[in-house]
Amino acid sequence: MIKIEIQYFAALREVRGLSRETVSTKATTPAALYKELSVMHKFKLPLSDVKAAVNNEVAELDQPLNDGDTVVFIPPVAGG
């Protein structure tokens, strides 16, 4: 298990009710982490619509995660 700090924005923050949290996980990639969180928190947004950043850098969803990383999940943002 590794500890990851997660930050949520927009619709994900609204569903979760938090802007950040630290979790212990067996997930090894942002994609696996998002799938795990989707089950736990009932996120409806498909993975294909979510972007990720790891340690303040845009990341591929299959990038390996390490203990202590910070992951930001960024949903699509509507605006005008």
Following DSSP, what letter does each residue of 20-63 receive, concatenated?
EEEEEE---SHHHHHHHHHHHHT--S-GGG-EEEETTEEE-TTP
pLDDT tens digits for 51-62?
999 999 999 999
CA-wise closest residue to 70 among 1, 25, 3:
3
Question: Rounded mean pLDDT of 26-42?
Answer: 95
Rounded to two decimals, the pTM is 0.90
Contacts of 63 (CB under 8 A, 6+ apart): 29, 30, 52, 54
- CATH superfamily placement of domain 2-74: Beta-grasp domain (3.10.20.30)
pLDDT tens digits for 16-33?
999 999 999 999 999 999
